[in-house]
């Protein structure tokens, strides 16, 4: 709570600004009067401090500076003193220039190193004060001083590039202060963390910022104060004056070489020293702001940036890859694309333009594939497994297990696999997806209304930004589910289904709706579901704790199954064509434990692959031309599912989607972990196999259609 807000918060900085201008004028007058050379730095150096005073005064005049009187006074006085320091430094620098031999160089090197080290620490304080003041004192020392080291290395590059002048070094201070203030407002307006991908969408951010009301508080003014202190210290950095032309030229050349060496070393360290490994930590991909608060801005931002790059395939060529894609697309067109079934579906689709509803059900999976659980009497979700008229259904190979919902979501919406992006990466949080193709853009261009919903915080996994970039025109988050019933871990599936039906009633136009549910989210501790609902399966081979968590999970799935049944009955009654795509994003965390306990000692790809799958079905409330609604079993990967759906219902396909479908003759299903070949065998994604060339083609096409657009 801000208290003692001054009546006129602009008074102190205005007075300080006047005094600083007076000091500058007096110094210039004195140098002119005594016939001394008027050094440009006497005028230039105080200007940033003057700008800081004027800026805070302007905020006060505009009424957007909510800062207590003492903080305003501290900023005004401190910045005034800092502005005077560059004016008073000249006698010391002149004395240094008059010294002979190596003494001035020794003094300069020692002075510059100490000042850059000190200002690096102060710059980190400035950054964290603006956006993380409540947690600044609790940042572990290893992370704080790593932040300072990173700033020091950047300052060192600027030091040499700027010919060892303090002015260039101030750029590092300004960057730190600027990032801190930017993160402050990103937290305030979005409740999220500033990510490297946000820098790629800076133009969009500036455009939408006009709709926000900016208020500058004590933390921002304090950040500016720390930045002023750092810049004042850096003003004391100035190289010895050289008189000989040859010395000046040699000095410039040496400094440039040193800057290049420093840049090379820093770049190499960034590429080869993973901060997560070096500091032995892992940042929270789901809710990165918590990691920013715990470890500080710079380590987490840097670790995120280090995960940014997608490795280019060996001997990659855009032209060659375009030829591969064109050939595979032509293969699809000559086969399935020209078949009577596909042609009939296309004609029907063009006439009906059915609404496409996708339900990505949180952690939904049929665990009856565990032999011991099936032997204990569990047959899987009853309704889900008994839908008689699904178009296709089966296992869905996923690139994640136990968590990371947004990655399956990403794969489904973009037809891109995490296997070719990198382990542990989360595209929603890492990249700007503005130019990436997606189902929402595809159907939006076809005249569909595009809507997505997730009854949780809109910035989890950076969804708010990602959805907008992927082409969704509307996003319903937790704020749109106020008062909705909850079960286990959040808003019920049924509440999201009611919202879907509500949205359908708003318009007769075709719609594409993505529903990312929340109900079944982990963990599965005892007491999180009603006792009367709890299942009591006891598979042989599981310990009591695992069994208890498994039963909580199965109870959640039973609840979801019941609500799915009610939803589909309502869809059957709708007087409009609807296609429903339903799948689980990943298996629960308890699956990994079950896998290890039930198959102890098993060390194989099959053991790993067992928990990297979920289940899906595709259904329509009308007879899809060219398709028999007989619940055909078909395993598929999450990144190929939407292309298969479009193929099935007759929707237009991109060349990339056609090419992916064509590769399924050799690789019917794959994920970021493994794939199944046409021979029915399981292979590691990067391992040797008779189908390695096909996987390489998919990798190259994805690089062309995704990585090249980032």
pLDDT tops 50 at residue 381:
yes
Q: What is the pLDDT of residue 4?
A: 43
**Where does the pLDDT of residue 44 fall: very low under 50, low under 70, confident under 90, or very high at 90 and above?**
confident
Residue 80 neighbours by CB under 8 Å, 6+ apart:
16, 19, 20, 49, 53
Which own/partner contact pairs does 200-209 have at CB distance under 8 Å and 24+ positions apart? 200/431, 200/432, 200/434, 200/710, 201/432, 201/434, 201/465, 201/469, 204/434
Q: What is the pLDDT of residue 204?
A: 46
Q: Does residue 89 surpass a pLDDT of 80?
A: no
- Whole-angstrom distance, CA of residue 414 vs CA of residue 617: 19
Name the least confident of 26-40, 189-203, 334-348, 427-441: 189-203
| Per-residue model confidence as pLDDT tens digits over 519-531 | 999 889 999 999 9
Question: pLDDT grade, residue 152 (50/70/90)?
Answer: very high
Highest average pLDDT, of 58-62, 132-136, 306-310, comes from: 132-136
- Nearest C-alpha neighbor of 41 from the set 224, 175, 160, 165: 165
Query: Which of 84-88, 253-257, 289-293, 451-455 has the highest mean predicted lDDT (pLDDT)?
Result: 451-455
- C-alpha 240/C-alpha 98 separation (Å) is 9
Mean pLDDT of 660-679: 96
503: confidence class by pLDDT, cuts 50, 70, 90? very high
Confidence tier at 179 by pLDDT (50, 70, 90): very high
Residues 598-607 have a mean pLDDT of 91
The pLDDT of 380-388, averaged and rounded, is 96
Q: Give the pLDDT score at 250.
A: 84
Q: Which residues pair with 356 in a beta bridge?
A: 512, 579
Q: Residue 246 pLDDT > 70, yes or no?
A: yes
Is the pLDDT score of 3 beyond 60?
no
Q: What is the pLDDT of residue 415?
A: 98
pLDDT at 1: 36
Q: ∠ at Cα 181 (180, 185), nearest 5°?
A: 115
Q: Given a cut of 80, is residue 243 above it in pLDDT?
A: no
What's the average model confidence in pLDDT over 203-232? 79
Give the per-residue pLDDT at 99. Answer: 59
Q: At what angle do helices 245-272 and 141-161 cross, to 10 degrees?
A: 150
Nearest to 370 by CA among 557, 544, 550: 550
φ and ψ of 327, to 5 deg? -65, -40
More confident residue, 232 or 629: 232
Q: What is the pTM of this model?
A: 0.76
Helix axes 544-573, 589-598, angle to 10 degrees: 130
- The whole-angstrom separation of Cα 614 and Cα 363 is 8
Cβ proximity of 297 and 146 under 8 Å: no
pLDDT exceeds 60 at position 203: no
pLDDT at position 101: 56
Residue 76's CB is within 10 A of a number of other CB atoms, namely 26
Q: What percent of the chain has pLDDT over 70?
A: 93
Query: Could you tell me which residue, 454 or 67, shows the higher pLDDT?
Result: 454
Is pLDDT above 90 for 676?
A: yes
Q: What's the CA gap between 131 and 292, in Å, rounded?
A: 9
Cα distances (Å, whole numbers) of residue 55 to 177, 294, 539: 14, 31, 68
Share of the chain above pLDDT 90, in %: 75
Strand partners, 674: 684
Banded model confidence at residue 425, pLDDT cuts 50, 70, 90:
confident
- Mean pLDDT score of the chain: 91
Per-residue model confidence (pLDDT) at position 418? 94
- Between CA 264 and CA 102 the distance in angstroms is 29
pLDDT mean over 131-136 = 94
User: CA angle 389-498-356, nearest 5°?
Assistant: 50
Residue 213, pLDDT above cutoff 80 = no
208 pLDDT above the threshold of 50? no
- Distance CA(374)–CA(379), nearest Å, equals 6
Read off the pLDDT of each residue in 301-317 and give the average, rounded to a whole number.
90
Q: Is residue 168 classed as helix, strand or coil in its secondary structure?
A: helix
Best mean pLDDT range from 79-88, 275-284, 416-425, 658-667: 658-667
Average pLDDT over residues 457-473: 93
- pLDDT grade, residue 98 (50/70/90)? low
Can you point out the beta strands (E) in 323-440? 355-361, 392-397
Over 80: is that where the pLDDT of 326 sits? yes
């Amino acid at each position: 709570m801000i208290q003692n807000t001054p009546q006129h918060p602009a008074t102190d900085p205005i007075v300080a600004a006047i005094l600083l201008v007076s000091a500058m004028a007096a110094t210039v007058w004195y140098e002119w009067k005594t016939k001394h050379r008027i050094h440009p730095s006497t005028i230039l150096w105080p200007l940033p401090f003057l700008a800081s005073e004027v800026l805070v005064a302007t905020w006060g005049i505009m009424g957007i500076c909510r800062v207590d009187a003492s903080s305003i006074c501290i900023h005004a006085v401190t910045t005034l003193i800092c502005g005077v320091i560059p004016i008073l430094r000249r006698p010391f620098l002149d004395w240094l220039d008059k010294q002979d031999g190596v003494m001035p160089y020794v003094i300069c090197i020692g002075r510059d190193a100490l000042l850059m080290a000190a200002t690096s620490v102060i710059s980190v304080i400035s950054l964290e004060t603006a956006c993380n003041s409540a947690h600044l004192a609790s940042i572990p020392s290893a992370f704080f001083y790593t932040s300072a080291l990173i700033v020091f290395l950047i300052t060192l590059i600027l030091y040499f590039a700027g010919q060892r002048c303090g002015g260039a070094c101030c750029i590092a201070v300004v960057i730190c202060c600027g990032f801190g203030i930017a993160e402050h407002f990103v937290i305030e307006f979005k409740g999220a963390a500033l990510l490297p991908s946000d820098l790629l969408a800076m133009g969009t951010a500036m455009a939408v910022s006009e709709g926000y009301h900016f208020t500058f508080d004590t933390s921002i003014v304090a950040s500016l104060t720390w930045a002023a202190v750092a810049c004042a210290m850096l003003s004391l950095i100035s190289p010895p004056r050289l008189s000989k032309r040859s010395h000046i030229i040699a000095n410039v050349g040496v400094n440039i070489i040193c800057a290049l060496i420093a840049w090379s070393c820093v770049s190499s360290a960034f590429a080869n020293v993973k901060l997560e490994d070096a500091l032995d930590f892992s940042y929270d991909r789901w809710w990165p702001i918590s990691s920013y608060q715990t470890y500080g801005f710079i380590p987490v931002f840097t670790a995120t940036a280090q995960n940014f790059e997608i490795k280019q395939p060996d001997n990659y060529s855009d032209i060659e890859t375009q030829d591969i894609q064109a050939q595979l697309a032509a293969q699809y067109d000559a086969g399935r694309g020209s078949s009577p079934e596909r042609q009939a579906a296309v004609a029907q689709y063009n006439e009906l333009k059915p609404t496409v509803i996708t339900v990505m059900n949180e952690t939904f999976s049929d665990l009856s594939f565990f032999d011991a659980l099936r032997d204990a009497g569990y047959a899987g979700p009853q309704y889900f497994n008994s839908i008689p008229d699904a178009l296709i259904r089966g296992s869905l190979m996923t690139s994640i297990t136990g968590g990371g919902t947004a990655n399956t979501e990403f794969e489904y919406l973009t037809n891109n696999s995490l296997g070719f992006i990198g382990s542990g990466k989360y595209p929603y949080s890492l990249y700007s997806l503005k130019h990436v193709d997606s189902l929402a853009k595809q159907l939006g261009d076809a005249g569909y209304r595009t809507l997505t919903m997730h009854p949780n915080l809109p910035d989890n996994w950076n969804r708010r930004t990602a959805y907008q970039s992927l082409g969704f025109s509307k996003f319903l988050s937790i704020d749109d589910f106020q008062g909705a019933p909850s079960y286990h871990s959040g808003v019920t599936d049924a509440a999201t289904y009611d919202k879907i039906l509500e949205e359908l009633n708003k318009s007769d136009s075709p719609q594409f709706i993505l529903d990312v549910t929340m109900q079944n989210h982990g963990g599965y501790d005892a007491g999180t579901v009603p006792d009367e609902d709890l299942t009591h399966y006891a598979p042989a081979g599981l310990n009591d704790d695992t069994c208890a968590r498994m039963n909580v999970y199965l109870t959640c799935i039973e609840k979801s199954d019941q609500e799915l049944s009610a939803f589909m009955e309502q869809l059957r009654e709708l007087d409009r064509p609807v296609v429903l795509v339903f799948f689980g994003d990943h298996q629960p965390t308890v699956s990994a434990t079950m896998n290890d306990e039930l198959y102890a000692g098993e060390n194989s790809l099959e053991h790993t692959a067992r928990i990297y799958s979920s289940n899906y079905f595709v259904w329509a409330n009308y007879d899809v031309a060219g398709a028999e609604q007989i619940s055909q079993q078909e395993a598929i990967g999450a990144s190929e599912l939407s292309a298969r759906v479009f193929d099935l219902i007759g929707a237009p396909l991109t060349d990339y989607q056609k090419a992916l479908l064509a590769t399924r003759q050799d690789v019917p299903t794959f994920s970021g972990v493994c794939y199944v070949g046409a021979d029915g065998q399981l292979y590691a994604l990067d391992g040797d196999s008779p189908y390695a060339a096909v996987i390489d083609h998919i990798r190259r096409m994805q690089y062309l259609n995704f990585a090249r657009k980032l």
